[in-house]
Structure 1
Amino acid sequence: MVVSAHPEATRIGLEVLRQGGNAYDAAVAVQFALAVALPVAGNIGGGGFVVYRAADGSVGALDFREKAPLAATRDMYLDAQGNVRAGLSTRGHLAAGVPGTVAGMVALHQKLGKLPWADLVRPAAELAAQGLQLTSKEAAGLNSVRPHMLSVNKHVPTYVHPEGRPWQPGDVIKYPELAAALGRIQQNGRAGFYQGETARLLLAEMQRGGGIISQADLDQYQPAWREPVRGRYRQYDIISMPPPSSGGVALLQMLQMLEPYNLGRLGWHSAAGVHLITEAERRVYADRATYLGDPDFGQVPVAQLLDAKYLKQRMQGVAPTSVATPSAQVTAGTGLPGYESDQTTHYSIVDAQGNAVSCTTTLNGGYGSLVVVQGAGFLLNNEMDDFSVKAGVPNMYGVIGGTANAIGPGKRMLSSMTPTIVTEKGQVCLVVGTPGGSTIITSVLQATLNVLEYGFDPQQAVAAPRLHHQWLPDHIDVEEGALSPAARTELERRGYKLNPRSPWGRIDMIERRHDGTLVGGADPRGDDTAAGY
């Protein structure tokens, strides 16, 4: 089964499985297909994370997160007075980190793939050349971003309609330059992106727009194999992404904080249940802001953050009947060693042998930095905004960061991506993840609890209205239909501020039932599609 953010990517991934490829082959094919079919987040100019569990029970995590260019400096987005210069870290050439996606897919394929590399990239290259029909969501997205894209680029990219009119649903969009770039990756692997013609075009684009990515950055970029973070929740084993993603640590913290309470008996989105989940979330996001960063650049106290005594102490005084704790009164936990020196996409894949892949990949904001590499046709990320541009100043998602996540040359920026696999009795049970910036962690938490605690099937679990709290700002984001009038009244009585918000996230989930049947859940908030055979 393949569940991804676009029907074409899902179709391509499933075809690879039908041809005898494994879950890792399908992941490579889906990644490149999303770079064509989902320009808002799919990419070769970004990065991401893979968590996998092989049929033999072995697990691993691949970090192909972008890096700060070697010319990056800690205060590069501040003016002479030390204030943040608006927009520099989110839009334009200076916002881009060194892309990791192609190197990551090459590493994944070399270690775990079966089918020839060229066969996995070819479907995406053909899709880019032949074109595909725009859905209503994609047409609306490209139309909304058109003026910004034209202001950032010195050329008119193929994402803008050649006749200058708005895109309509059903219009066929073709990407000849991207097709050629994918063709070079298909033929030459890593060298087809980080060297040769594509690298030349990328560096020319940097010069044109005052960016700082150099050939040395491209030559030196390496993805990193990491040990997943692991923990238990009731009878389930949780396998998730370690730093520089904050997602896995935060998810495990929240699940362990919530385990002592009977959420199932309290009921889905009951006032008492929402209260407990929110109190765990605000404490975890406070820890995230203080302690989490790139483990290659300093000590990240993962073991201490996941220590049972520490987590119990963090929830001291929180009971199903207690009132809200204002975030102003919540700080990061103490006694831990200090750190020293909303657009993404996700896909979940399980193959016939039982190998499972959970991959979250991103340009950061929608359409990244909006910079399209002239002649190569791909969008660059604006991942530099995921650093703490200035300690204590929120990023584009409103998330506060500290010195642990300060900009440094060659450093990976902190992420919220939470690709996760859940097992029960040695068998894969859930494969889950989502885009959504800082809401990723809480969305994965809710979708997982929806299945494990409330008995939802995967489609119900991903479609259910969501809630989110991230410590600061101190309010609960509420999707329409997420709270009953009674729960809303009771939460407000307890001191919670409720913030109505349009839908977020695109959760893609696979559940493996006890009889081995695979059941997919594709988020109706997007064009997400589940397919299996």
Structure 2
Amino acid sequence: MRLFLIISGFVFLSAGCVNGQLGKNNGQEYRNGMVVCAYPEAAKAGLEILKKGGNAVDAAIAVQFALAVTHPTAGNIGGGGFMVYRSGKGEVNTLDYREKAPAAASANMYQDSAGNIIPDKSLHTHQASGVPGSVDGLVEAHRKYGKLKWADLVQPAINLAKSGFPITEKLAANLNSNQTTFKRLNPGKNYYQKEGGWKAGDIMVQQDLAATLELVRDKGRAGFYEGKVADELVAEMQRGSGLITKTDLKNYHSVWRKAITGNYKGYKIITMPPPSSGGIALLQLLRSVEPFPLKRWGFNQDSTVQVMVEAERRVYADRSKYLGDPDFYKVPADSLLQPKYTDSRMKDFNWAQATPSSSIQPGSFVGYESDQTTHLSIVDKEGNAVSITTTLNGAFGSGIVVKGAGFLLNNEMDDFSSKPGVPNMFGLVGGKANSIQPGKRMLSSMTPAILEKDGKLFMVVGTPGGSTIITSVFQTILNVVEFDQSMQQAVTSKRFHHQWMPDDVEVEQEALDRATTQKLEKKGYKIVPHGPIGRVDAILKTKWGYYEGGADPRGDDTKLGW
């Protein structure tokens, strides 16, 4: 059995690739399961769980805990996330374990007496953190769907934290670039700091985190939200005038929500409802471009890009006004997803000229009263599929480590609208629907998704990337469905992004050729060079019945199957 190798950002493909499609007998026939995630050791942990007889949910739990150790940039137990689940028999469910605002939070907490935003307060202070949801979410997922013992799923992460693991070149670079922040926010030493800097191959050991994970292993939810870890978390809050209390921890609970679904040219899309904005936005985007002949125009050609950008412009404008936590705000999901509404939004764009974002406002309809994330896609032998996106928000979250407990705090409070009309760290603009309220979940861009074709599993997909998550998932789906790319090609392909405000089309290097760029610029599109966009991890169920993975070469992402 041969694997794709991901080495220093390059993808080495096995032989057997014909016309961009993997052939049936190319050595990639992973029929028993597949794991695709952000770090090699975490992928190994998930695959071992599958081989031991665990299901996709079991493997996902092991992977997420392992990522909390090996991928501290975004992997976490101090953050939160979303899970989309589809059983091998077609049962569908979603789990919301997004963080919540503490009870002491208030709408104007990041504004000064004059109503101006206080720089950095929602990013790198103890008040930037929402109540973590990851541990509760994983406990709840195991309670409902788990097969193996809980302790067996947490143990691989404990082993990695205790014994250490070799860090990659990319992780070393990320740690080194944040050394000043770690030192400023964490008086004394912690294991993210290293005199002389980190280099590839260094072994990272995290004894405090191992001890925390042992409590979670032995006591489940209580090991995190009560007792020693809760004491340490609250003590950390008190050190920096943070807001999270023991009552906040006790009252936190993840929520099972009904998936939202839509169709695109015979494919059924199963994705996350609010407080994720990603699911509704993804379905709106697909519906917006469905009437246009993208396949005939071709991948990243000027007409294709123009239609996709104009759709993105309108969808992100709607996001700014209408999306928020459904437990606090009546999200008009049905209205936003009406084909008649989506079609009406696309009627006013002009082929000859870019639509200025300043002229686009959120739509209206009758009856109307959320960079650093990580994603994992897993399928098991029975065809159960899990798509999870989890986050601390910014790289390494707030940068604050809980003393004694060894995990990073999130800075998810920045995903709220600190002030209507003022953009957050990703440049996203929000309004009243996403205002800060005690106990409320902040809006997210996370877009874990599962696709069906003819009633059978077709694709599992998702990505990190802040505001670019939605457009990265959108493009990856189109790359397969419209442009006949293999899963790995679809994930590797260069991407572009537009989000209404600012009025820029951000483009990865070499995503558009010179002629295409010139045609778009003549129409008034502002093309802006951008670094890597997204890190998509995805799995395709091929027509031959095996699993084909796509691990994004923009990171240390790894795919393993058996």
Alignment TM class, shorter chain as reference: over 0.9
- 1:492 is matched with 521
User: 2:276 & 2:122 partners in 1: Cα distance?
Assistant: 19
**Map of 1:19-30 to 2, 5 A cutoff?**
19-30=52-63
**Map of 1:118-133 to 2, 5 A cutoff?**
118-133=151-166
User: 1:250 & 1:481 partners in 2: Cα distance?
Assistant: 26
The one of 321, 324, 331 aligned to 2:354: 324
CA shift for structure 1 position 124: 0.2
- When residues 64 and 337 of structure 1 are mapped into structure 2, their CA distance, relative to the original with a 3 A threshold, is farther
CA shift for structure 1 position 515: 1.9
User: 1:223 & 1:269 partners in 2: Cα distance?
Assistant: 39
User: 1:455 & 1:337 partners in 2: Cα distance?
Assistant: 40
- 2:20 is matched with none
Structure 2 counterpart of 1:10, one-letter code? A
**Map of 1:246-257 to 2, 5 A cutoff?**
246-257=277-288
- 2:233 is matched with 202
Name which of structure 1's ranges 187-196 and 147-156 shifts more when overlaid on structure 2: 147-156
- 2:222 is matched with 191
CA shift for structure 1 position 514: 1.8
CA shift for structure 1 position 338: 5.4
**Map of 1:318-467 to 2, 5 A cutoff?**
318=349, 321-335=351-365, 342-467=371-496
Residues 291 and 338, structure 1, Cα contact 8 Å, conserved in 2 = no
User: 1:64 & 1:155 partners in 2: Cα distance?
Assistant: 32
Once the two structures are superposed, residues 273-294 of structure 1 have per-residue CA deviations (whole angstroms, 9 ceiling, x without a partner) of 0000000000000000000000
**Map of 1:31-50 to 2, 5 A cutoff?**
31-50=64-83
The one of 219, 222, 225 aligned to 2:256: 225
- The alignment status of 1:165 with 2:213, answered yes or no, reads no
- 1:175 is matched with 206
- What is the TM-score with the length of structure 1 in the denominator? 0.98
- When residues 231 and 131 of structure 1 are mapped into structure 2, their CA distance, relative to the original with a 3 A threshold, is same
What is the SS of the residue equivalent to 1:297? coil
- When residues 65 and 200 of structure 1 are mapped into structure 2, their CA distance, relative to the original with a 3 A threshold, is same
| CA RMSD of superposed structures (Å) | 0.8
- 1:262 is matched with 293
Once the two structures are superposed, residues 201-250 of structure 1 have per-residue CA deviations (whole angstroms, 9 ceiling, x without a partner) of 00110011110100010000000000111000001000010000000000
Once the two structures are superposed, residues 419-476 of structure 1 have per-residue CA deviations (whole angstroms, 9 ceiling, x without a partner) of 0001000111110000000000000000110000001111111111110000000010
Once the two structures are superposed, residues 343-364 of structure 1 have per-residue CA deviations (whole angstroms, 9 ceiling, x without a partner) of 0000000001000000000000
Q: Which runs of 5+ in 2 are unaligned?
A: 1-33
Structure 2 counterpart of 1:324, one-letter code? A
User: 1:155 & 1:450 partners in 2: Cα distance?
Assistant: 48
Once the two structures are superposed, residues 132-169 of structure 1 have per-residue CA deviations (whole angstroms, 9 ceiling, x without a partner) of 001000001001101111111233221112xx220111
Residues 158 and 210, structure 2, Cα contact 8 Å, conserved in 1 = yes
What is the SS of the residue equivalent to 2:327? helix
The one of 80, 91, 105 aligned to 1:58: 91
User: 1:498 & 1:219 partners in 2: Cα distance?
Assistant: 48
User: 2:533 & 2:354 partners in 1: Cα distance?
Assistant: 24
What is the SS of the residue equivalent to 2:268? strand
Structure 1 counterpart of 2:348, one-letter code? G
What is the SS of the residue equivalent to 1:30? helix
User: 2:535 & 2:125 partners in 1: Cα distance?
Assistant: 26
Residues 475 and 497, structure 1, Cα contact 8 Å, conserved in 2 = yes
- The alignment status of 1:78 with 2:111, answered yes or no, reads yes
Residues 335 and 365, structure 2, Cα contact 8 Å, conserved in 1 = no
What is the SS of the residue equivalent to 1:296? coil
Structure 2 counterpart of 1:476, one-letter code? V
- 1:505 is matched with 534
- The alignment status of 1:100 with 2:133, answered yes or no, reads yes
User: 2:286 & 2:265 partners in 1: Cα distance?
Assistant: 9
User: 1:278 & 1:108 partners in 2: Cα distance?
Assistant: 37
Residues 392 and 412, structure 2, Cα contact 8 Å, conserved in 1 = yes
- What is the TM-score with the length of structure 2 in the denominator? 0.93
User: 1:436 & 1:156 partners in 2: Cα distance?
Assistant: 30
User: 1:276 & 1:318 partners in 2: Cα distance?
Assistant: 9
User: 2:112 & 2:368 partners in 1: Cα distance?
Assistant: 28
What is the SS of the residue equivalent to 1:348? strand
User: 2:379 & 2:545 partners in 1: Cα distance?
Assistant: 11
Residues 198 and 376, structure 1, Cα contact 8 Å, conserved in 2 = yes
- When residues 338 and 366 of structure 1 are mapped into structure 2, their CA distance, relative to the original with a 3 A threshold, is farther
- When residues 379 and 507 of structure 1 are mapped into structure 2, their CA distance, relative to the original with a 3 A threshold, is same
CA shift for structure 1 position 323: 2.1
CA shift for structure 1 position 400: 0.5
What is the SS of the residue equivalent to 1:389? coil
Structure 2 counterpart of 1:422, one-letter code? L
User: 1:524 & 1:130 partners in 2: Cα distance?
Assistant: 27
Structure 2 counterpart of 1:428, one-letter code? L
What is the SS of the residue equivalent to 1:428? strand
Structure 2 counterpart of 1:215, one-letter code? K
- The alignment status of 1:113 with 2:146, answered yes or no, reads yes
CA shift for structure 1 position 264: 0.6
User: 1:260 & 1:21 partners in 2: Cα distance?
Assistant: 42
- The alignment status of 1:272 with 2:314, answered yes or no, reads no
Once the two structures are superposed, residues 292-346 of structure 1 have per-residue CA deviations (whole angstroms, 9 ceiling, x without a partner) of 0000002000000000110110001336x4421110110000125556xx10000
User: 1:128 & 1:429 partners in 2: Cα distance?
Assistant: 35
Residues 14 and 531, structure 1, Cα contact 8 Å, conserved in 2 = yes
User: 1:419 & 1:211 partners in 2: Cα distance?
Assistant: 31
CA shift for structure 1 position 13: 0.2
